[in-house]
């Protein structure tokens, strides 16, 4: 860093302008994309990557790298260009030229897992802010638990995030920053691209709050840079000050820039999201003093322009090498220690299969008497927390309702002065909670679970979608999972949210029917590290599944997503009907099955529990047919929308209305989710198919 | 108001404490609910209802009443008790005693439409803040357009909203208040119940921002009341000052209270959401100096306790009577005027069927060449805006993409200094936008439409659900409705959101296939005043449906939700297959149909367009069978999750994955949503059912 002051001003401009040119070439080649932000933010991006950020281009996943998040993800050509300039192998000029093309590693918005150096998937605004807060939480927490006093710090990195006015207008951004201020995450640096232009035009149309005093009131150190276009030394000074101030306050840098800097439409909304056109690009490059020989050659960069980026990359590589030595020292220290955190260290740094223990947790920890599945979850969690030091919990201010806070967590939560706490009081901030949990997984080293009522998954759907899209195995603990919550009424009773969770790719909705199923669902959620899970848990007590059902049946059955719980009546006969259900309604089906047999409505039937449709769909059709035999009518029973069951069932008892404020039993009766109605519907269904096979429901 | 200073202090306490006692009786009778907030907020509630708020209990819907919103809706027994004390007929003591019981008008959270005097459905936190902002917008806008200079003001009321820390932590609350500050809604008064307790415990666990300087930085006038428990005169003084300051700044009152005031668990999280128990109630009442004779009689109120509430009610009734005279005068003035706003006046105050004109809008306004359905929507809107003065538009900073800003709106939007503007620049605040639109409908007098990308309906699902639950006919304009948006990629391409929108009760998802269908969908959306609609519109150009299809077929067909667009091949024969589709994919089906006939794969088939499944489900089965004949295989084609089609189709071409960043045609090809694949799947389906009837898909 010492050589920085020696770089001549015009050289800064040279390095920055080639970054700009490259970003704009991408947009022009795709004839689609967002040139405005990269042109405005290039100076700060340069200062950050070339002179501030700790990274190793040859090892993009280096654990102690600084994290960089582009929350205003539409400006991704800036990031791709930076990664190219810094020498990230994957980002060749050829890949840059394939921006927004099928199969490239340069998609239209940054996608985690597609591009090395892209930490998180952004584009939906505000998400990146929450992700960055999650990363800063993870860093702070792991540092406090794993760094050893008197030794070099094993974990010591920063999280930088770029955002625009859009991210700051979004609720998720506000929730996340409010929590960041509360938690005093001083290694989080938020850089606000204050270009005073949003898509609709000037921000004076919709966004005129005094950001600087606002973020100060929220616990941030606030810095202002009046001229983000060319006051390079100020940018650098502020970045370094913000990075090094360890004062339990996160940093907010208001950086005044010109959107589309250097182009003919600079400073206007026109340059936000439309290519400049070939002539516009040429003019821009001229304005940026790009040499004549490069003017008409897109994706051409003079070798000299790489110099500071390569220098930064070399510096980072050396830092990583030094850090590897520190890591080796820690390995020795931890190997010879029996300290509590050894297991965490091994999980984070030694790829230890620390998850294997969960198979050993068995039903002996569970009571036999009826308990709510949220209560069963609490018991399971008590055990998990004890045995898995990488778990970090939380709830959006419903800890006592979600039953997500267990054991030692009750004594010490993650706070400014207790970063070692393993429980996050997210406050009533569901959307940020989910986005932060995404950031924690993306950071690495920890598995977050977080709680809210199932219906309020609707408040954080934007972030849940990104868990699924970016393969982040967040565990959502969603209690109060039906009208069974009773008196709180329709505003709190989920009926239709299951439809989108089940339709969402790469997400598991798990709805256990009793304690033993809850245990197995938790195991699945923890083992699926690239797929988020939503555990749907009852508020009210559920009986245990009959004790005659062996543990191994439940274990295998839940792992397959659905299984025959029991066959009633003449076991030798094919069932006349299948009652198919999930969660609390499974018990109604079991009772209805007894009624049907007792009243001689039929001679044999089976009851199927299907806690996870997504898993069941993955099974062989041989297995599926053993559960839902061809030609046998199926009645599905679930206190949610019937939409999800048309695929499997010939009739559904569901709820295609909003719920009702009333005691639980009144609610169930009102909507016909009762033993009597199951019996009645079963008889109707039997009658309908008495002379014919029930048709296959399978879609072609 | 003049007599206020003459009321002795102890009398205030008496009136307030009976309000408290009544609220707690409700919770105790239900053995469920939230006593903490009503006990803490009773003094302010009393001062507001008895001495500040303008209302007429005998005419709860009086247009010029002040609006009161309980954003912390869990404290609804306070509101029910107030409404009872003030003489709202529906709220008898008997109804109060049925709190949270089936069929009562006192559900567990306030529900619009269930209880007179309840303006909006609240409970999901933060929503009420957005609703209140919407109400204040509606008032400001209507006042600016309908009040006549030199006359008494016809529209001149305030919006008061109670909220807790939860509402202020929620993103939707932050978005809404940020916009309120920007818009300078000075007749909006936000009263923050600063009891420093959230469900998890002290707010010091998660919420420590400096609210007062925060809201000042967001453009609010901020008032602080240190002792909200007993500094009655200060409460009253601040309420009046806040009400009367007309300075283009909304008001934020930080009111320090004690949660559960008077109970043994006052000031702790324990009192938030659990009944006090019979002994706790008795102790509370003793602490509140409730007379011995009322101690053990729940729901008993001494007659004297009603006095100030009844006085306020009488005052309100008189004000309403005076206002009716003003209204009569305005009726004469407007009747004799040809001014532009006459039609608006008639819509708001004379129940004029101003909607009838929309039937007259016909396809002549639409071009024949291919255009995007968002573009068709823009053309339709241009006409609608001109003819329907009650429409108020907006977008979450995507005006130029949603094409929601038309005609005069481009010149003047709704702003601090132009309240007559009919377009709201919501900024990037989807959740608040939807909540505000709910508030605008709930206020009355205006129909709001608001735009975002379909995928970002996921950001505002919480509020969309409340549109549906509370019967508020908001029109959501959701463009960029599929992978057809191309390069922006999977973060922006909706695939699964349709599942929850179609599963949601009382909501219409409308996906038109061309301009003419778009026009009809808009008509439906406007006519459905108790049901919200989501118009799903394409970014890319769609051909017009064949001109041989007559307008009346489309008009009738769309109104029925689904219809046979055309039959191809031998018209005399029953179709061998039905291709069922919506929106942009209808055109692929039409092409595939031609291919199938041309290649002699079959002799006859029909193509069905089903822009609205919810409407189609409501048709007679006779009609349904004409569209989807019994025994004929159905192939559904839609670029979204297949989940919604299992109900109707034997095979589905859908997208059960996340999308992809690539040019549009590459995306369609990648996911097999192509003419070729439709032909292939059709042939497979024909083969499967060549010897048998296709089974009924209908659920029992």
Residue B415 three-state SS: strand
Of A429, A461, A504, the CB nearest to B461: A461
Strands A221-225, B188-194: pairing kind: unpaired
Residue B3 is predicted with a pLDDT of 56
Comparing C-alpha atoms, which of A169, A499, A73, A122 is closest to residue B431? A169
What are the backbone angles phi and psi of residue B198, rounded to the nearest 5°?
-115, 180
Query: Domain end: A542, A569, A596, which one?
Result: A542
For residues B602 and B689, what is the distance between their CA atoms, to the nearest angstrom? 13
Tokens of B88: 């709202």
How much is the pLDDT for B356?
Answer: 80
Binding-face residues of A in 475-534 toward B, CB within 8 A:
486-492, 495-500, 502-506
Percent of chain B whose pLDDT exceeds 70: 99
Percent of chain A with pLDDT over 90: 94
A90 inside domain: yes
Distances (CA, A) of B191 to B44, B57, B81, B203, B332: 9, 22, 19, 17, 39
**Beta strand pairing status for B651-653 and B634-637?**
parallel
B552: in domain: no
Give the tokens for residue B600: 């002699």
Mean pLDDT of B254-269: 96
Alpha-carbon distance of B200 to B597, in angstroms, equals 66
d(CA A536, CA A518) in angstroms, rounded, equals: 9
By the CB < 8 Å criterion, does A100 face chain B? yes
Annotated ligand binding at A492? The verdict is yes
- Where residue A120 falls (left for φ over 0; alpha for ψ -120 to 50; beta otherwise) is beta
CB B461 within 8 A of CB B433: no
Integer Rg of chain A from CA: 28
Please name the residue of chain B whose CA is at the shortest distance from the CA of residue A74.
B488
Do B307 and B238 belong together in one domain?
yes
Q: Is residue A37 part of a domain?
A: yes
Mark out the alpha helices in A444-539 (DSSP H runs).
461-469, 497-503, 515-527
DSSP state string for B512-557: -SSHHHHHHHHHHHHH-SSS-EEEE--SSEEPPPPTTS-HHHHHHH
Contact B489, A123 (CB under 8 A): yes
| CA A147/CA A153 separation, integer angstroms | 6
Task: Quickly count: other Cβ atoms within 10 Å of residue B306's Cβ.
Answer: 17
pLDDT at residue number B1 = 41
Find all residues with CB under 8 Å of A454, minimum gap 6, and list them. Answer: A478, A479, A480, A481, A482, A494, A497, A534, A536
SS3 content of chain A, % helix, strand, coil (to 5): 45, 15, 40
Chain A, nearest residue to B493 by Cα = A124
One domain for residues A183 and A301:
yes
Q: How far apart, in whole angstroms, are the C-alpha atoms of residue B358 and residue B380? A: 10
A564 and A455 in a common domain: no
In a domain, A344, yes or no: no
The residues with which B382 forms a beta bridge, in sequence order, are none
User: Residue length, chain B?
Assistant: 700
Task: Give Rg (Cα) of chain B.
Answer: 28
State the pLDDT confidence band at A1, using cuts at 50, 70 and 90: very low
Model pLDDT for residues B271-325, shown as the tens digit of each residue: 999 999 999 999 999 999 999 999 999 999 999 999 999 999 999 999 999 999 9
CB contact under 8 A, B200 and A395: yes
* DSSP class per residue in A385-428: HHH-TTEEEEESS-HHHHT---GGGGT--SBTTBTT-SEEE--S
Residue B343 burial (CB count, 10 A): 17
Question: What CATH number does residue B519 fall under?
Answer: 3.40.50.970
Are A476 and A580 contained in the same domain? Answer: no
A312 within a domain of the structure (yes/no) = yes
Spatial contact of B488 and A108, defined as CB atoms under 8 Å apart: yes
User: CA B621, B627, B633, B637 torsion: positive or negative?
Assistant: negative
CA A290 to chain centre: 41
Q: Do A246 and A271 belong to one domain?
A: yes
Number of domains in chain B: 3
Q: Are B244 and B274 in contact (CB under 8 A)?
A: no
* Pair A484, A576 in one domain: no
Do A389 and A311 lie in one domain? The reply is: no
Instruction: Give a yes or no: residue A647 inside a domain.
Output: yes
Location of structure tokens 């603990």:
A477
Q: Is residue A279 domain-shared with residue A391, that is, in the same domain? A: no
User: Pick from A199, A128, A134, A204: which is nearest to A168 by CA?
Assistant: A128
Minimum Cα–Cα distance from B660: chain A residue = A102
Instruction: Report d(CA B531, CA B514) in Å as an integer.
Output: 23
B286 vs B304: CA distance, rounded Å: 18
- pLDDT value at residue A700: 65
Tell me if A64 sits within 8 A of A324, measured CB to CB: no
Query: Cβ of A209 and B181 within 8 Å?
Result: yes
Find out whether B374 is annotated in a ligand binding site: yes
Pick the residue from chain B with its C-alpha nearest to A181. B209
B2 pLDDT higher than 70: no
Instruction: Give the CATH number for residue B624.
Output: 3.40.50.920
Is there a domain that residue B345 lies in? Answer: no
State whether B206 and A397 contact (CB < 8 Å).
yes
In tens, the pLDDT along B133-151 reads 999 999 999 999 999 999 9
Question: Which secondary-structure segment (H or E) carries B135?
Answer: helix B127-146
User: Around A310, how many Cα atoms within 13 Å sit in the side-chain half-sphere?
Assistant: 5
Beta-carbon contacts of B699 under 8 Å, excluding residues fewer than 6 positions away, are A642, A645, A646, A649, A650, A651, A652, B647
**Which residues of A fall within a CB distance of 8 Å from B469?**
490-491, 658
- Same structural domain for residues A302 and A425? no
| Residue B613: closest CA among A504, A656, A505 | A656
Find the farthest-apart pair of alpha carbons in chain B and give their distance in angstroms, rounded.
Answer: 93
Please tell me if residue B275 touches chain A, with a CB cutoff of 8 Å: no
Tell me: pLDDT of A146 over 50: yes
Strand pairing class (A423-425; A391-395): parallel
Kind of pairing between the strands at B371-372 and B541-542: antiparallel
How large is the average pLDDT for residues B483-494?
A: 98
Are the Cβ atoms of B123 and A489 closer than 8 angstroms?
yes
Is B107–A182 a contact, with Cβ atoms under 8 angstroms apart? no
Q: Do β-strands B541-542 and B533-536 pair in parallel, antiparallel, or remain unpaired?
A: unpaired
Residue A253's Cβ-side half-sphere holds a number of Cα atoms within 13 Å equal to 28
Cα–chain-centroid distance for residue B121? 9
* Residue B692, pLDDT score: 86
Q: Evaluate whether A435 touches A134 at the Cβ level (below 8 Å).
A: yes
Does the interface predicted TM-score (ipTM) exceed 0.95?
A: yes
Cα(B635)–Cα(B588) distance, rounded to whole angstroms? 12
B618 at interface of A, judged by CB pairs closer than 8 A = no
* Distance in angstroms (rounded) separating the CA atoms of residues A127 and A272: 19
With cut-offs at 50, 70 and 90, classify the pLDDT of residue A340: confident
pLDDT digits (tens, 9 = 90+) for B537-571: 999 999 999 999 999 999 999 999 999 999 999 98
Task: Give the pLDDT mean for A422-430.
Answer: 98
User: B227-258 pLDDT, tens per residue?
Assistant: 999 999 999 999 999 999 999 999 999 999 99
Residues of B tagged active-site: 430
The enclosing H or E element of A625 equals helix A621-627
pLDDT in tens, A40-69: 999 999 999 999 999 999 999 999 999 999
CB contact under 8 A, B200 and A399: yes
Instruction: Place A8 in a pLDDT band, splitting at 50, 70 and 90.
Output: confident
Q: Which of residues 200-239 of B touch A (CB under 8 A)?
A: 200-201, 205-211, 213-214, 216-219
Instruction: Based on the residue annotation, tell me whether A139 is a catalytic residue of this protein.
Output: no
* B86 touches A: beta carbon within 8 Å: no
More confident residue, A635 or B1: A635
Kindly provide the b/e burial profile for residues B319-333, where b requires at least 16 CB atoms within 10 angstroms of the residue's own CB. bbeebeebbeebeee
- Smallest Cα distance from A317 to chain B, Å: 32
β-bridge pairing A634-637 and A651-653: parallel
Domain that holds residue A534: 356-542
By the CB < 8 Å criterion, does A133 face chain B?
Answer: no
Q: Tell me if B685 and A670 make a contact (CB, 8 A cut-off).
A: no
Chain A contact for B413 (CB, 8 A cutoff):
yes
pLDDT of B696 reads: 82
Which of the residue ranges A682-691, B4-13, B446-455 would you say has the lowest mean pLDDT?
B4-13
Q: Do A95 and A235 fall into the same domain? A: yes
Select from A266, A291, A318 the last residue of a domain: A318
Could you tell me the pTM of the whole model? 0.98
Q: Is B165 on the interface with A (CB under 8 A)?
A: yes
Q: Assess whether A374 and A237 both reside in one domain.
A: no
Q: Is B539 annotated as a binding residue?
A: yes
Could you tell me if B274 and B413 lie in one domain? no
What gap in Å lies between CA B627 and CA B648, rounded to an integer? 11
Is A612 a domain residue? yes
Which residue, A542, A571, A599, sits at the end of a domain? A542
Whether residues A100 and B663 touch (CB distance < 8 A) is answered with yes
């Amino acid at each position: 860093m010492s050589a920085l002051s020696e770089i001549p001003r015009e050289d800064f401009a040279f390095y920055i302008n080639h970054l700009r040119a490259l970003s704009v070439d991408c947009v022009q080649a795709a004839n689609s994309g967002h040139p405005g932000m990269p042109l405005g933010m290039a100076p700060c991006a340069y200062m950050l990557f070339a002179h501030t950020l700790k990274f190793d281009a040859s090892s993009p996943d280096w654990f102690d790298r600084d994290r960089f998040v582009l929350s205003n993800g539409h400006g991704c050509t800036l990031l791709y260009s930076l990664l190219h300039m810094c020498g990230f192998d994957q980002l060749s000029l050829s890949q840059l030229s394939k921006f927004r093309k099928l199969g490239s590693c340069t998609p239209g918005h940054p996608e985690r897992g597609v591009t090395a150096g892209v930490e998180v998937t952004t584009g939906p605004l505000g998400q990146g802010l929450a992700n960055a807060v999650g990363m800063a939480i993870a860093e702070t927490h792991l540092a406090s638990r794993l760094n050893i006093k008197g030794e070099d710090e094993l974990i010591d990195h920063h999280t930088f995030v770029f955002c625009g006015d859009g991210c700051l207008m979004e609720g998720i951004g506000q929730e996340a920053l409010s929590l960041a201020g509360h938690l005093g995450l001083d290694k989080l640096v938020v850089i606000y691209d204050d270009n005073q232009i949003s898509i609709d035009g000037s921000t004076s149309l919709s966004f005129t709050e005094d950001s600087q005093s606002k973020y100060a009131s929220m616990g941030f150190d606030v810095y202002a840079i009046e001229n983000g276009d060319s006051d390079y030394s100020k940018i650098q000074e502020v970045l370094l000050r913000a990075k090094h101030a360890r004062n339990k306050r996160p940093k907010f840098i208001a950086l005044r820039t010109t959107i589309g800097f250097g182009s003919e439409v600079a400073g206007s909304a026109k340059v936000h999201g439309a290519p400049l056109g070939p002539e516009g690009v040429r003019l821009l490059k001229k304005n940026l003093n790009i040499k004549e020989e490069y003017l008409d050659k897109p994706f051409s960069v003079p070798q000299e322009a790489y110099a500071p980026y390569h220098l930064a990359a070399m510096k980072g590589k050396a830092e990583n090498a030094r850090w590897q030595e520190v890591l080796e020292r820690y390995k020795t220290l931890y190997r010879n220690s029996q300290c509590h955190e050894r297991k965490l260290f091994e999980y984070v740094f030694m790829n230890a299969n620390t998850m294997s223990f969960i198979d050993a947790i068995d039903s002996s920890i569970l009571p036999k008497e009826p308990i709510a599945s949220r209560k069963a979850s609490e018991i399971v969690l008590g055990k998990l927390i004890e045995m898995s030091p990488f778990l970090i919990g939380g709830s959006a201010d419903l800890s006592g309702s979600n039953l997500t806070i267990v054991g030692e967590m009750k004594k010490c939560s993650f706070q400014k002065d207790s970063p070692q706490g393993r429980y996050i009081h997210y406050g009533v901030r569901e959307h940020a909670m989910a986005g932060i949990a995404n950031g924690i997984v993306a950071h690495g080293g920890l598995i977050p679970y977080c709680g809210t009522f199932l219906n309020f998954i609707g408040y954080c759907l934007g972030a849940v979608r990104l868990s699924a899209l970016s393969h982040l195995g967040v565990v959502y603990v969603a209690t109060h999972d039906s009208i069974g919550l009773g008196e709180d009424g329709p505003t709190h009773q989920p009926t239709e949210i299951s439809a989108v969770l089940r339709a969402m790719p790469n997400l598991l909705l798990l709805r256990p029917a009793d304690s033993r199923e809850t245990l197995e669902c938790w195991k699945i959620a923890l083992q699926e590290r690239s797929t988020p899970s939503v555990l749907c848990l009852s508020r009210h007590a559920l009986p245990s599944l009959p004790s005659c059902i062996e543990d191994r049946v439940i274990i295998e059955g839940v792992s397959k997503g659905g299984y025959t719980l029991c066959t009633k009546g003449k076991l030798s006969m094919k069932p006349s009907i299948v009652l198919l259900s999930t969660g609390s309604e499974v018990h109604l089906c079991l009772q209805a099955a007894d009624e049907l047999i007792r009243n001689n409505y039929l001679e044999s039937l089976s009851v199927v529990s299907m806690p996870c449709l997504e898993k069941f769909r993955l099974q062989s059709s041989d297995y599926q047919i053993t559960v839902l035999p061809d030609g046998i009518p199926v009645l599905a029973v679930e206190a949610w929308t019937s939409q999800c069951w048309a695929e499997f069932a010939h009739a559904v008892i569901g709820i295609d209305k909003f719920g009702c404020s009333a005691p639980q039993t009144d609610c169930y009766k009102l909507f016909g989710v009762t033993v009597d109605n199951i019996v009645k519907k079963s008889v109707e269904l039997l009658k309908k198919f008495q002379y014919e096979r029930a048709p296959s429901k399978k879609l072609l």
